[in-house]
Structures are given as structure tokens and as C-alpha cells.
Structure 1
Amino acid sequence: MRFDAKTLPEWLQHLEQLHPSAIDMGLARVAQVRDSMGLRPAFPVIIVGGTNGKGSTCAMLSAAYRAAGFKVGTYASPHLLHYNERVAINLVPASDEDIVAGLRAVETARGDTSLTYFEFGTLAAMHHFMAANVDVAVLEVGLGGRLDAVNAFEPDVAAVVSVDLDHQGFLGDTREAIGFEKAGIFRAGKPAFCADPRPPQSLLDHAAAIGADLQVIGRDFSYVNETTQWRWRGRHGQKPGLPFPALRGAFQLGNASLVIAILDALHDLVPVGIGDIKRGLLEVTLAGRYQVLPGRPSIVLDVAHNPHAAGALAQNLLNQGFFETTHAIFSGLADKDIAGVLALLHDKIDVWHVPALDVPRAESPEVIAGLIAASGARGRVHIYPDVAEAYAAARLAAGENDRIAAFGCFKVVADVLALKPR
């Protein structure tokens, strides 16, 4: 008997219990259900992978397409507060009813095939985009690339934003191994992009072996920061006088440069003018990616959970200016390189507020406190039973000339956002 329910929470609970493991790499099962559902989109599909920067890149792409008047479907993960954030059309999250309709269609088609939570959601998202007749779809890879459910769909353009160490248990423990996995989204004869300034040789070799039309930042496209604006250069010329992206952070120009290269590659199918690009850059928003909330004390939210992202956050904190005291609300998962994150941020924090997290794989606050001490951090460390108490303590301790940085895994940022700061 097939599962059926009326509400999205019931469906999500069902998905969490459906498959024996949360992550089960491979395309055979999801491809089988894809074919049963007839999910062969006629619109252009863009797949975006990478260790960090995927969300920002997808958000800027979608903002530019929306500014140009196209109906753009965006699939991203994980969500911060509501599952609906994962599936959006013109950057508006899908309704519960639309998501349930997609999930029901997957359940009907899958037969005895078992799917993970992410695989189920990926198929349902494409079902929704096809039902809504979008003009273009932007799909964010969940994990890796080659064996990720998103890669069951044929991209017209594929891009790898960055390559660094994360999810080593699934992707390998070197940049070369991880680069090969991420390059698996490239296709023969199709535009492919890499915005990592040091692309792994494995990525370059795979693109060459399959005959992908690879463009690499610094070689085939680039940007020049001109202080009050910036300039993009690519195969077909340059675009001067560009505004800085509304997304904050030292690495966003590289992401924006990749976005323009992708828009340029698909110009014949979904043309986006320079005015639309500028508007998209100015209007883009994305919660939790070096998000600075207005007011005092300054509150910074960042989902930096691996050393590569921590390096970007460290630079962004330095660039933000002087604060008398910086408080951190920080916690993470046991299978992440917490010590690597702390090595890059230990000297940027004066007081650490470490909450326990009620999520699978969460590291204990006592272990994290020990890692903070071992990192050489100078700041005091306090432990709390949850994020709410950690946030309350940080707010109570922080003066108007101080800063609170909430970072680590998505759960930390999500819980702070749920408290509606300010």
C-alpha cells in the first residue's frame, strides 16, 4: 500500500524513515524512478556543485534570470527554517501543497525502489518545475557531484564553484579525489566551468577526457576589482561598470564572475541583458551566508562548517572593522573538521558560547570546548544546553560596540534565525 498524507510534515517524517541510510551514493535508483515519472525537462538545466559557494552562485543566477523576466526554478539544500526553501520559482518558496503533489507523484512512480530523503526531494522538485513550465532550472548539488541525485538530470551547463576538503568519508581525503567527484557533473560537448583558482588536475583531466567545453577562472574568464565597481572579462568580450553583489563576503566576486560566465554560455537560449545582470546582483539575497543583521551589537550569521569556508569567514570578520569584543555562538557535527575550522578562527573570537545540538552526528559541546582550548584560542568558553540559551547569554554579555558571530553547521544559524534576532 502506497503512503499518502495531506500535510508536508507527515511526508517529511515518512521520507526520513523510508531508506536505511540518509546518504546512499549512486544514480541507479533515482534514475529508474526519474524514467518512470517521465522527468525529461525541455527547459535548460544548470547544475552547480562545489565545496562552498554553491548556494550563493545559485541565488545570483536565479536573481538574474528573474530580473530578465524568465520563470526560474531553483533547487537548493539544505534549508534553514522550512523545507519549502529548497524548492522555489522566481525565488518564492513552493507551497506545501505543491511540494506534497511532487512527493506524491514520486511515491506513486517508485514502486519497490527505495529512495533517500534527498533523492525523493530532488525528483519531486523537478516534477514541480515541469508542472509549472519554468523557463530554466538551477539545481544545487547536495553532496559531491558524480553520484549525487541532481546529476540524474542532464545539464546544459555545469559548474564547480570550489574544491576543498569536506565529506571525506564519501568523496575522498584529497583535493584530487574530491575534484574528480565534483567534475562528474560535466558533460561531453557542453559548457563546463570551474571557479576554483587552483583547479585540481583530476578535474581538468576528466573534463578533457569526456570532451567537455571547460572554462576556468583566471584563464577563460576573470574579474577586475575597480574599487567602486568591477569588470568581467570572458570569451565574448567584457562587461564593465558592474555593481558589487548584495551578498557580502570576500569570495563573492569570484562567484559573481562565474554566474556571468554561465549566463553568457546560455545567452542564446535564455538571454539576460547587462541591466538584468546588474539588477540581479543588487537584489540577490541568501540567508546565512555572511549575513550581517542591522543594529547593535552587530550579529553575523554564517554557515561556515569546513576549513575552506572558515577561511573566508575569518577574512570577512577582519574586513568588517573593529569591535571591542567578538562573541561566537559555535557548534558543529562530529564528522566535520572542527579542529580545522578553529585553526582559522581561534584568534578572531574573544568569548565562545558552545551549545549542544539536537541533531544526528552532533559533536558534544564538551568535546568542542576541548578543541577550542587545544587550538590556542584566547577566549573564554561557556557551554549551553541549546542554541537559544547560548544566544541569550551572548546578547546579554555583548555591548553595542561588540559583535556576535553565529557560525558552524546550518543548525546553529537556523536556530538563531528562528529566534528572530532584534
Structure 2
Amino acid sequence: MVDPLEIPGMKDVRMLLKKHHSKEYGYRPIKSVTYIAIHHSLTKSGSAEAFARYHVATNNWPGLGYHFVIEKDGIMKWCNEIEKSTYHVGNSNRFSVGICLTGDFRTEKPTDLQWKSLNTLTKWLMRELSIEPENVFGHSEFSGYASKQCPCLDMDKIRLSLKEKKQPSNKPFNFAKYYPNPTGKIYRLSELFSKINHLSPPELKKINPQLTSEATTKPPDVQIQPSPEAPISQEVSSEISTYIRMMEKEGYSINYDDSKDYNLNILGLRTPNHIPNKFDDSLVVFWKFNGTWHIKKYKITTDPGTGPLLNLNKKGNSNGTAILKKGQYKDSHIIGYHKKQYRALVQANPVTVIRDNNWDNILDFDNGREFTGIFGINIHRANEHRESQQVDAWSAGCQVFANPQDFKEFMDMCTKSNLEWRKNFTYSLINV
């Protein structure tokens, strides 16, 4: 996964742009992105926000078609995850990332600030995605678009400028970020030179003055050890260890394979509160990649709300309201549509529920008959627009997110996991 926010001047507007109410862009593996597409907006003015409104309202697209927009003041806006296959170059969408510059370059030129930002962003994408200058195209250079007047820029000149040697940053190189080392392995400095192939020893010396001149010209006898703490702190690492011990105690299996990103462990933590209607539980997602652990934690409910517990709509199951029993449910969920309305994790294999059948608005985790089967115990969100404070009818046994933005982030991770790993997700639930 690449993070454009490390580029100075980049603004993340992904959550602020207009989106289609039902359509969504698909995802592709990051390794499939091998081209960069340059566009101009064909407008004298405009912004990422304005272009998104047009693409959704007029074109009926899922959202803005570009991954990045560079406005006339040089501000770069991150508009879509690079893994998203957005609409901007037709059949080439599946392997290209799109950059749009605000302006009509048939009659005007990009501002100096736009040129600078375009060079910065394009070189960063080339480095992160291993793309050569020869694969940086203007819109009209892609197959089927020769008649397009886009971007009306000298792409040969742009490609030539991208071949120029990149000036080193004044910022010290963060070994641990790019080469995390939680195992404590010791590296010789010469080994790190071979890994950091976009920096020569003299460049490394310039941005890391603490290194000796001898160390930048030949392999030293001394050894250095990159920090094992990045990109997560020791405190977070300790928290993950706690969850691993909890799961091991229950005999649950854990995904340790870190050869690819997003090998997710999805763990629900249920509080022992028998009073319903509160989002007082947690859902933890943690995974390991290239030796480094990552973690996300969200506020959810693992219990049904007041409506189903009291059977207020008189349509409840005659055996009682479902409460998911603690346990590990392997391959229990897949990405689908909750009530045919929006993407969520939907139940695909049997789980065990306890049926609370006394309709007394008290959660009975241990009393009641157990049933195992397919009951639509999905993992979804509550309100689409704002964080919900009460469960009410949002859950009749489902695992439900209180905050819609948390849920979106969770589903994005699940989608990326699907691309790298497997179709099904395992859900584990523990009483804490």
C-alpha cells in the first residue's frame, strides 16, 4: 500500500467528494498499476470537488474519475485510492492512475506551481509503483483516444524531465518505515545500500550526516539495526500481543502470513453488559505485512437492539432474537450486499446464535436455545450519514458499526484483502 500523504502539499479529500448513492468503483491489485495518465480539466477554473459533482451528477459515475487533481495554486488533492479502477482512460483504467490538472491547455499553460506539483507527484508515483518515464502518457496517447485534445501538453518533454536525477530530500531517510525490522535482525550498512536502490551512498550521506564518510563509500565493519518500532508504536504492538494471547487461549487460529498485505484477523470484543442498545463493543482488525503489525479498532455492537429484543414490529423469530455466540467462525463471511442495499460482510457459512425469547429487553448471553445455521448475521453499519448513539433496530443479531466512516475504512481493507488473499473472511468473537 502506498500513502500519498507523505508528499508535502498533498491534501486528502477522499471522504469529502461527492459519491454516487449506489455505485462504487472496483479495486485492482496495486502491482497491476503500470501507467500514469495525465489529463487537463478542459475548464478555465475548477476544483476536485467541482469535478466530482459533475462526474456523479452528469456522467452518472460512481465518483470522481481521477485519482489526483492538481489545482492552479499547485495544491495536490488525493481523490481516490490508487487501488481503485476509476473512469478516466476507458479500457486502460485497469492499469493506470489518473492525474488531472485544472485548466484548458488548448489556450493556456499550467501555472508554475502546477508544473512543480506535477513533477513532484509523478516522480513519487513512479518510485512507489516502479513505473518508468516511458509509461507516463497523456490522455490522447492511450489506445482509442488519439482524437482527444487532452492534455495538450508536450508529453515527450515531460517524460524527459522525469528522467532527470531526483534531488535528495533534506529529510533523514526513515529506514524503519521502508524496511521494518521487528525480528531484530542485524543489517550491514552495505546491505541497506543494496535495498535503497533509489539513493546512492553520497546521497545517503547528504541526508544522513551522522553517517561517516567511510560508511558511505565502502561496506563498514560495524553494523546498524533499524528501529523495530515503526510504523506502529511499542504500545500498539503490546495491544496486538494481548489480542493474540486472548485468541490463543480460546484456541482460535490467527493469520500470521505476511508475504502479502491485508491478511486480516477480524476480532469482535463483547463487553459483559446485559443492558442493550449501546455501541459498547469493539471490532479489532490486525494483520502483519513484511514483518510489521498493523491494527485498527472500531466502535460496534455485537448485540441486538431494543427493537428486536422487545419484538416491537411483531415480526421477530418465534424462537427469539439472535445473539451471536462467542466463537471463531471460519470462512463465515464474504463481501456482498446487506439487504441488497450496500456492500458489507454478509454471512456465507453457518454460525451459532443464542435465541433470547423472553422479549424483556435484557441481553441473555447464556440463557436460551442454541441454533446453528445461516441467519443473515452480517457485519454492516448503522446510519449512512452520521455516527449512531443507540442500536435500536440496526441490529437483530448482526455486528454493526456505529460510525459510517469507520465502516467504509473497514470495507476498503476487506476489499484489498480479497484482491491479495481469499474470498471468505473468518470472524472471531470473544467475551471480555
State TM-score, norm by structure 1. 0.30
**Higher RCO (C-alpha under 8 Å, 6+ residues apart):** 1
Bigger fraction of residues in strand: 2
Bigger fraction of residues in helix: 1
